[in-house]
Amino acid sequence: MLSHHEQLIEKSKKYLWLPFTQMKDYEKDPLIIESGEGVKLKDTEGKLYYDGFSSVWLNVHGHRKKELDEAIRVQLEKIAHSTLLGMTNVPATELAERLVNLTPPGLDRVFYSDSGATSVEIALKMAFQYWRNIGETKKQKFVTMNNGYHGDTVGAVSVGDIDVFHKVYKPLMFNSYKTPYPYTYRHPSNQAEVCRDECLNELETLLKERHEEIAALIVEPMMQGAGGMIKMPKGFLSGVSKLCKAYDVLLITDEVATGFGRTGELFACNHEGVVPDIMTAGKGLTGGYLPIAITMTSERIYEAFYDDYTKLKAFFHGHSYTGNQLGCAVALANLDLFESEKIVENVQQKSKVIQETLTKFHELNHVGDIRQIGFMTGIELVKNKQTKEPFQWEERMGYQVSLKMRELGMLTRPLGDVIVFMPPLASTTEELQEMMSIMYEAIYTTTERDRS
């Protein structure tokens, strides 16, 4: 007789197809989460793991947070879902006001959707149609950063640039202009300012030449996430923003990963006082509870769509679950907790703890670069620290290290050979320290001890 756990494993292998997963890997090392509490997850065998990646960059206050659970229960007593097409609901309306007040001034309108990718699709279509609606029909192209990531729907993939994920879909994509992203560690100068200025110059050349056909530029502010946790040099984001303004190109900042406190500011744009024309966010918005995402924009863009119906300027876009009440209710409770539990301050203070502890990691023989902003960290492993030569990709060193971490009691997913550390924003110093010891141990054993 199979135990309940074993039955579930069998079913998962037989019926499921998991995202971003080679199912052959899953079959070798299956895992089913049964419950969660605070910053820990429990599997169907009762083994506990630190949620070292916030369940893929979402979780803020830990799991089963009393106030968030309660907000959903209270909303459930009223209604679970009704549509936002042509009407609205109570929490979606309240949340919109809160968001307009919290986001950089000038972002005055909220358009809801249900995932980061859809919030990006909306941003792209909104920017494209904005120029049409005001009669600038030549502005149709997008600029995106090398190595950028904006989600997995076809539009979002078209402004993405991660070869492993995106190359195969090339024939499906619309063309966008790529501009270099400042990856200091891999820049010949290894100097942030030199790398930054070179990238800004290249962008300026492109915009000077092509701005008449460019609708918008999209960028992940301060830290490129899925591309490998690559942190921008100071002054790059504000430089990009200035160039966009100078050449009349809309700036879309994709805050899906960086938004809601992750980088130590409520939004990553705040680090450099940048106000985009369009901003997307998702992930942390509901504290990691439910799928709500937002695309916010200025009154100027909104007004270009506002007219008599027969002018056909309306934004013909929406999703079945747009503005879902349960999601908006939990987002409101999440924002309350940001205030009452001083989450952004917590990230600012504790990120210093992370930074200090991580300096020790430099003594490891295969840690090439450590990039951190707030609670968003990437550790790039290399075969040779001096030459920065990477490991053979077939070795899957990042993946091996993550499997080791799992054995030692922490879950996270690497990005190639970049180890990701993105704990829930409410993690305590003690929890952070324990998670980082697991990380240290896993990197050491996998890259050094067991290989020599």
Ligand X SMILES: *Cc1c(COP(=O)(O)O)cnc(C)c1O
Annotated binding-site residues for substrate read: 149, 283, 318, 413
Q: Among 101, 126, 128, 129, which Cα is nearest to 111's?
A: 126
Q: Which is nearer to ligand X, 51 or 254 (CB)?
A: 254
CA count, 13 A, side-chain hemisphere, 422: 30
Q: What are phi and psi of 376, to 5 degrees?
A: -130, 110
For strand 177-179 and strand 141-145, is the pairing parallel, antiparallel, or unpaired?
Answer: parallel
What the block records as the tokens of 354 is 């992370």
Least distance to ligand X, CB of residue 224, Å: 8
Contacts of 171 (CB under 8 A, 6+ apart): none
Give the nearest distance from C-beta 449 to ligand X in angstroms: 33
The verdict on 254 binding ligand X (CB under 6 A) reads yes
Shortest gap between Cβ of 19 and ligand X (angstroms)? 9
CB closer to ligand X, 261 vs 282: 282
Beta-bridge partners for 38: 63
Q: Transcribe 402-446 into DSSP letters.
A: HHHHHHHTEE---BTTEEEE---TT--HHHHHHHHHHHHHHHHHH
- Which of 91, 225, 259, 423 binds ligand X (CB under 6 A)? It is 225
**Chosen residue from 41, 216, 226, 326 binding ligand X by CB under 6 A:** 226
Residue 29 CB, shortest distance to ligand X, in Å, is 23
Cβ nearer to ligand X, comparing 285 with 379: 285
284 binds ligand X, rule: CB under 6 A: no
Nearest-CB residue for ligand X: 116
The correct pick among 52, 116, 233, 416 for binding ligand X (CB under 6 A) is: 116
If binding is defined by CB under 6 A, does position 53 make contact with ligand X? no
Among 52, 151, 239, 416, contact with ligand X (rule: CB under 6 A): 151
Residue among 92 and 124 whose Cβ is closer to ligand X:
124
Q: Measured from the CB atom, is 162 or 256 closer to ligand X?
A: 256
Separation in Å, CA 102 to CA 94, 213, 335, 382, 426: 13, 33, 10, 40, 20
Residue whose CB is less far from ligand X, 226 or 240: 226
DSSP one-letter string for 361-376: GGGSTTEEEEEEETTE
Enter the DSSP assignment of 273: T
CB of 154 to ligand X, least distance (A): 13
Residue 97 beta carbon to ligand X: minimum distance, rounded to whole angstroms:
24
- Rounded to whole angstroms, the Cα distance separating 337 from 73 reads 17
Those residues with Cβ within 8 angstroms of residue 348's Cβ, 6 or more apart along the chain or in another chain: 264, 374
CB of 117 to ligand X, least distance (A): 3
Instruction: Give 95 or 438: the residue with its C-beta nearer to ligand X.
Output: 95
Structure tokens at 71: 């907000």
Comparing CA positions, the residue from 287, 226, 294 lying closest to residue 425 is 287
Among the candidate windows 30-38, 143-151, 323-331, 382-390, which touches ligand X by CB under 6 A? 143-151
115 near ligand X, judged by CB under 6 A: yes
CA–CA separation, 232 and 373 (whole Å): 10
Total residues interacting with ligand X, rule: CB under 6 A: 14
Position of tokens 């909306």? 122
How far from 358 is each of 223, 351, 361, 401, CA to CA, in Å? 18, 10, 5, 16
Nearest of 144, 156, 157 to residue 120 by alpha carbon: 156
**Min dist. Cβ of residue 201 to ligand X (A):** 25
| H/E element, 43 | strand 40-43
Residues annotated within the binding site for pyridoxal 5'-phosphate are 116-117, 254, 319-320
Q: Does 269 bind ligand X (CB under 6 A)?
A: no
CA distance 218 to 1: 54
- Determine the interface stretch with ligand X among 35-43, 187-195, 251-259, 400-408 (rule: CB under 6 A): 251-259
Helix ranges (H only) for 172-261 are 192-210, 236-246
Residue in 220, 277, 380, 431 binding ligand X, rule: CB under 6 A: 220
117 lies in the site for ligand X, by CB under 6 A: yes
Position 261 contacts ligand X (CB under 6 A): no
| Residue 111 CB, nearest approach to ligand X (Å) | 15
Segment interacting with ligand X (CB under 6 A) among 124-132, 144-152, 205-213, 259-267: 144-152
Q: Is residue 150 involved in binding ligand X (CB under 6 A)?
A: yes
What span, in angstroms and rounded, lies between the C-alpha atoms of 158 and 153? 9
Contact between 61 and ligand X per CB under 6 A: no
Give min distance, CB of 221 to ligand X, in A: 9
SS3 311: helix
Sites of contact with ligand X (CB under 6 A): 115-117, 120, 149-151, 220, 225-226, 254, 256-257, 282
